[in-house]
Amino acid sequence: MTLARRGGAYILVLGAATMLTVVGLGTIAVMRTSIGQVVAARDWSAAGVLAESAIEGALSRINTEPTWRADFQSTPTSPAATIGPGTCYFSLVDPGDGDLTSGARDSVLIHGVGAVGRSRRAYQVQAAYVPPPVLDVLKYGIYASGAINCRGAAKVTGAGTRSGGTLTNSGTLTSDVTAANVSNSGTIVGEVREGVASLSTLSDGSLAGVPARATAINYAALPSGAIDAVVLGPGSNPYGSAAANGIYIISVPALSRLRIRRSRIVGTLVVQLGLSSALEVSNELNWERGPSNLPVLIVSATALSSVSLSGSGNPLSEASSGVNFNPASTPYSGQADADTADSYPSEIRGIIHISTLLASVTIGPNFNLTGTLITDGAITIDAGAAINYDATVLQDPPSAYQTGPATMMPVPGTWSWVPVPN
């Protein structure tokens, strides 16, 4: 072989080697790019999972820590948590006014941020207040564990009437009726359902602790045994020291009668009836729930006692009674003055709970309740009684009727990926 031929072969081999080297390096570069893309995709996906996990962590803290609103108002962003190869954190914002502490039922916007490698992703959702579950007893206008006897024309609107015993009607009852048994010789305007069991009237017996929180009003301090033409509430007590929580208690001696009429009451009155004593609620009366989120009237009793609830078709008039019912100490709908020229609806707003089997209970003419009447015994309904069920009680029910806690839950349709906040 000549020298020229040998040189040509060498160049050919060298060229082939160079091409193989270039191809090899290119393949390595492509592989590195592919691996980088796989890693980036993996990190991107993992960051998304961590962002979602951050939101789940936020919801857990919101629903288990009672002070979360105050805590995150001062420090709205959580510390970063390390999970596997990445980190995540969340922040909370009130989407309405920016103040997490301004309302216990305000919605909250949750941002969850996850980071893995160079990938950072943010997810958000709005969580809304979900009221606590309640006992079914709170879903009726009237509930009696015992019998119900309707003897006249009465109405229960917005929800039904339920008896754990027999409901006997000889009048005209405008209401859906649910009872163990129904005996009807009159007219029931509404759906009738029989064969049901009685309901529990308390979830945990917590009304038993209310008397210990109450300010006592001495029965002997009541003129003629009556709360008459007065203002009683958190800032007003004509019979002694005012109770800031709006809870008062009166023990009625045996063979005595307590009358409540022509007054304005804001708060809870606990009445303990002695042997053969009586409670009479009548005439013009404006009564509403106080700051303690309890029934407006709680009655316990011994044997042979009675409870009579009636009202008036006339408003509660300051001019007629000579009393200013909205003084500075007890405003009405935020308004207070010093005159006696105002009038107020004659109505009771809230829950009345007669927590005894030992008292006869009668509701009668012009009894006007916006709320729920519960009795652990029997009840008689006379002509002219009107109960308008107030469904707002389900939004903020007294704890005695709750069967679980309120929660904050994600609002469907509000989940979305958003830019990562700075």
Quickly count: other Cβ atoms within 10 Å of residue 420's Cβ: 15
Q: Does the pLDDT value for residue 23 go beyond 70?
A: no
Strand ranges inside 315-393, DSSP E: 316-317, 343-344, 347-354, 359-363, 368-375, 379-381, 386-388
pLDDT digits (tens, 9 = 90+) for 152-173: 999 999 999 999 999 999 999 9
The rounded mean pLDDT for the chain is 91
Closest by CA to 232, choosing from 293, 280, 297, is 297
- The band of 398, judged by pLDDT with boundaries at 50, 70 and 90, is very high
* Mean pLDDT across 103-119: 95
- Distance CA(172)–CA(185), nearest Å, equals 10
- The band of 25, judged by pLDDT with boundaries at 50, 70 and 90, is very low
Helix locations, 265-383, DSSP H: 318-321
Q: Does the pLDDT value for residue 30 go beyond 50?
A: no
Beta carbons of 269 and 248 less than 8 angstroms apart: yes
Beta carbons of 171 and 150 less than 8 angstroms apart: yes
Give residue 282's pLDDT. 96
End-to-end CA distance of the chain, in Å?
Answer: 74
- Distance CA(1)–CA(13), nearest Å, equals 16
Sign of the Cα torsion 292, 227, 277, 243 reads positive
Minimum mean pLDDT among 25-34, 85-94, 255-264, 284-293: which range?
A: 25-34
Beta carbons of 325 and 316 less than 8 angstroms apart: yes
Cα dihedral 300, 305, 307, 308 in deg (nearest 10): -170
Quickly count: other Cβ atoms within 10 Å of residue 406's Cβ: 16
DSSP assignment of 65-117: -TTHHHHHHHS-BPPPEEETTEEEEEEEE-TTTS-TTS-TT--EEEEEEEEET
Q: What are phi and psi of 75, to 5 degrees?
A: -135, 90
DSSP assignment of 291-323: TT---SEEEEE-TTEEEEE---SS-EEHHHHT-
pTM for this one?
Answer: 0.84
* Mean pLDDT across 65-82: 94
pLDDT digits (tens, 9 = 90+) for 348-367: 999 999 988 888 999 999 99
Give residue 12's pLDDT. 58
pLDDT > 90 fraction of the chain, expressed in percent and rounded: 83
Q: Which residue's entry shows tokens 């800032």?
A: 235
Give residue 17's pLDDT. 52
Helix locations, 189-282, DSSP H: 210-213
pLDDT digits (tens, 9 = 90+) for 186-216: 999 999 999 999 999 986 667 888 999 999 9
Closest by CA to 290, choosing from 263, 315, 266, 316, is 266
- The band of 29, judged by pLDDT with boundaries at 50, 70 and 90, is very low
